[in-house]
A and B are shown apart, each in its own frame.
Chain A
Amino acid sequence: MDHGDREEGHVSSVEEVVARVFDAEPDSLDASSSPESVEGWDSMGHLNLIAALEKDFNVSIDIGDAMEMVSVKRIREILLDYGVRA
């Protein structure tokens, strides 16, 4: 079943979370998206993004990891360490 058929409230990809937090068009995002390319992804925005990732994927992200999550690609890689495929 693809993500379109998931229940409400569940989020299936890092791009979706980034899109929601920074109100970006999902289609404008890809693995390379980062603070440089996404409007609003500043230091405060980064905290909001971490909070959203923690909530949506039900994990608690270590500070070192949180500071490393500087692109969609890196976020996806690091989340794998938490057993999350996103």
Chain B
Amino acid sequence: MDVSADESTERSLRELIAAAELTRAPELESLMTLLGHRLIRGGRLAEAADLVNSASTHGVRLGAAARQLAQAQLRSGDTTHAAVTIREVLKRDPSDVEAQRLLYRLLKGAGQGVEAHGALNRLVELDPTSACATFAYRERPKLGEIAGRPVRIALLSSYVLDPLVPFLDVECRRAGLTPEFYIAPYNQYTQDILSPASGLYAFGPDIVFLALDLEDLFAAVRGLPSIEELARSKAEIHGTIVALVRELRSRSSALIVVHELALNSPSPHGILDNRRGDGLVQWTADLDRDLAQALTAETHTFLLPLRAILARVGLERGQSRKLRYMARMRHADPALRELARASIRYIKPLKGLTRKCVVVDLDGTLWGGVVGELGPEGIQLGPAAPGIEYVDFQEALLNLTKRGILLAICSKNNPDDVLPVLRDHKHMVLREEHFSAMRINWRNKAENLAELAAELNIGRDALVFLDDNPVERELVRQMLPEVLVVEMPKDASQYRSTLEDLTDFELLAVTREDEQRGNQYQANRKRQALEQSSGSLDQYLHSLEIRAEIGSAQAHHVARLVQMFNKTNQFNTTTRRYQTPDVQRFVASTDRHVYVLDVADRFGDHGLVGAAVVREEGDAWVIDNVLLSCRVMGLSVETALLTEISDAAARRGVTRLAGEFIPTPKNAPCADFFGRHGFRADGEAGGTQRWVLDLDAGRIETPSWITATAKRAT
């Protein structure tokens, strides 16, 4: 292609893009991608960056092109711009594997060891393959030492278990551990255990996994062994394993974890297997049951439930015949990952990493809906869907208390709305007495969690936080990084399995004290107040990238406004329950102004979450009502709404802005709304407080963490 033809192609592309931008045509993305690739190939990176930016202002995601741009920027040594590009890609698509890989390279290059380790953990989470886990495993030593607690792990196996190491390494790193591994030479587990001078004992393991394959111990199981043969072999296998464990124990104080023995293929007897005395399925189950019993009698020794673990991925996905034939391996990637997650359940309690307390939110977490808005009978909780998923989740939480894990509440609510549910709701599984401590208030959750830890006298690193609201989760992640903040799924039917997948609640033994721990805490429940740490809160609010758009209500807003006037209890300055005809009249009239507030942040769009009604009264404007959804309380977006109202009033030459407030049992969260915005109290009549602000005294400033835009009626 000659140069002039190339230039004219580019010119045409730009013309097409300009046209598509105007018409918001769907082909805009493809056109921009084409141009992006062209610019990157031509080394015109600054222009490509401009293009990616312009795409995102048009709501177009240029994933592949943006990634290539970052790669090219990195190659040209421009790490600053590469970082911006990569973070932008990941913000739009957090599961972009290649972008995550680039982010890792960048952090590594910048010498940010801790962050680079974290990026590797995330990378393997996104791409849980042996190749990726192996990559991460090889990278760790290049990042320099980080202050992780060490753990020494030995793997003894009758087959090739080496590929488990990278997966187990990631699990350890995620738990803040720095692991060292020892792998016995292929199929030499017996010699290693029996010889006092073996590599195993020289290594000095904290934990030993003994992974023997049934077929390796008893080759005849592949055929059709007789009843006599089965009985004899069962005794032999049992004897062999117990003898190995005792030998190991005599030379090491390591925790010993023996893998269950499982069949690798369907029974050769087919559907007749469980009708015969020589059936293999029942025989294997008996073998494992006997083994479990025998190992319970040995100190510090466990049987790992391999069959149940592999069942999670299934034989189909968990096995690869090809790996078995080519490399004497047994487990494919999905099984290795699952096995690593099962293995870390033993390592965490061994290293004292068991979490002690689960702190739960209420609305949207323990039940569906907002109790302050719907009342105790309106929430989703009961024996049928929707509601049964929350009952099921609560049962799993209750089960945790039976092994000594504490429960606590951290909820933005009025206690008077919540306590009736805890005490009297027919379908609540968890009651007041199951919670060792509670924070039901309107303060920030990070402070509440810190207080909870202090009250329960446990470390913050012993807390697990479950909340359906990503904004609250991000706050806690940023302000209390030692708390385990669980990424709750949007779909409540996955809550229970999300909880069950956590590997942080394992104990090597359960004591009577564990079982009763919850009651003790409840007995000395105390409330302590902690001071607000406003510095970091400010940082958090800035990081949310809050955008507030304020406009005049139009006819299409009426339905949502009516819903809000009638459902909002907490942030509702006068609780005037306007109905559809009222709102329609307000929107059409000239002496009333209805404002709507739309809020979005980096986690997504909250939609229409605020409103205000203003009426003209002589030379003053009176704020008749202000409402805010509880979803966005605490972000000061109501100030942005007020700024726009006061600016609009000032533009019309109004000098006095008044506000009305009618206290109710529920609207305490907005009782200080006028006061904290500089209004002074101006008397009270018939239960209605009046507040006044002189507009020429100065403008109401929107906080710096909010980008407010006014969409004014034309």
Enumerate chain A interface residues (CB-CB to B < 8 A). Answer: 4-5, 7-8, 20-23, 40, 43-45, 47-52, 63, 66-67
Contacts and interface: CB of A to CB of B under 8 A. Distances in A.
B41 interface: yes
B333 A45 contact: no
B135 interface: yes
Interface of B: 33-34, 37, 40-41, 63-64, 68, 129-131, 134-135, 138, 162-163, 322-323, 325-327, 329, 333
A23 B326 CA distance: 24
Contact of B130 (A22, A23, A47, A66): A47
Contacts of A44: 130, 134, 162-163, 327
Contacts of A48: 129-131, 134
A4 B325 CA distance: 38
B669 to A, nearest CB: 45
Contacts of B134: 40, 44-45, 48
Nearest to A55: B129
Contacts of A23: 135
Given A23-B135, A40-B138, A43-B327, A51 B64 contact: no
Given A52-B131, A63-B322, A63-B326, 8 more contacts: A4-B37, A5-B34, A22-B135, A43-B327, A44-B130, A47-B329, A49-B131, A67-B326
Contacts of B34: 5
Instruction: Tell me if B's interface is mostly helix, strand, loop or mixed.
Output: helix
A45 B132 CA distance: 11
Given A4-B68, A5-B33, A66-B322, A47 B333 contact: no
Nearest to A39: B138
In order of increasing CB-CB distance, the 7 nearest A-B pairs are A48-B131, A4-B37, A8-B64, A21-B131, A48-B130, A23-B135, A5-B37
Contacts of A45: 131, 134
12 contacts: A4-B40, A5-B33, A5-B37, A21-B131, A21-B135, A22-B135, A40-B138, A44-B162, A51-B131, A52-B129, A63-B322, A66-B322
Contacts of B41: 4
Contacts of B68: 4
A22 B130 CA distance: 11
Nearest to B127: A20
Given A47-B323, A47-B327, A7 B131 contact: no
A44 B130 CA distance: 9
Nearest to A42: B134
Contacts of B130: 44, 47-48, 51
A38 B592 CA distance: 74
Contact of A66 (B37, B40, B326): B326
Contacts, number: 50
A51 B129 contact: yes
B362 to A, nearest CB: 40
A51 B327 contact: no
A38 to B, nearest CB: 13
Nearest to B329: A47
B155 to A, nearest CB: 14
B500 to A, nearest CB: 29
A47 B332 CA distance: 11
Nearest to A3: B37
A60 to B, nearest CB: 8
Nearest to B166: A44
A51 B37 contact: no
Contacts of A20: 131
Contacts of A50: 322
A66 B323 CA distance: 11
**Most B-side CB within 10 Å, residue of A21, A44, A50, A67:** A44
A28 B190 CA distance: 44
B509 to A, nearest CB: 37
Given A40-B138, A44-B163, A7 B64 contact: yes
Nearest to B321: A63
A21 B162 CA distance: 17
Contacts of B138: 40
Contacts of A49: 131
Nearest to A6: B64
A44 B161 CA distance: 11
A47 B129 contact: no
Nearest to A10: B64
B331 to A, nearest CB: 12
Nearest to B323: A47
Contacts of A8: 63-64
Contacts of A7: 64
A8 B29 CA distance: 13
A29 to B, nearest CB: 16
A21 B101 CA distance: 12
Counting chain A CB atoms within 10 Å of each CB, the highest count among B33, B40, B163, B322 belongs to B322
Contact of A51 (B63, B162, B333): B333
A77 B612 CA distance: 71
A21 B33 CA distance: 26
A20 B64 CA distance: 16
B325 A63 contact: yes
A79 B119 CA distance: 34
A44 B458 CA distance: 44
Nearest to B332: A51
B75 to A, nearest CB: 9
A43 to B, nearest CB: 7
Contacts of A22: 135
Nearest to A67: B326
A16 B572 CA distance: 59
Contacts of A52: 129, 131
A45 B326 CA distance: 13
A23 B104 CA distance: 12
Contacts of B162: 44
Nearest to B326: A63
Nearest to A60: B322
Contacts of B129: 48, 51-52
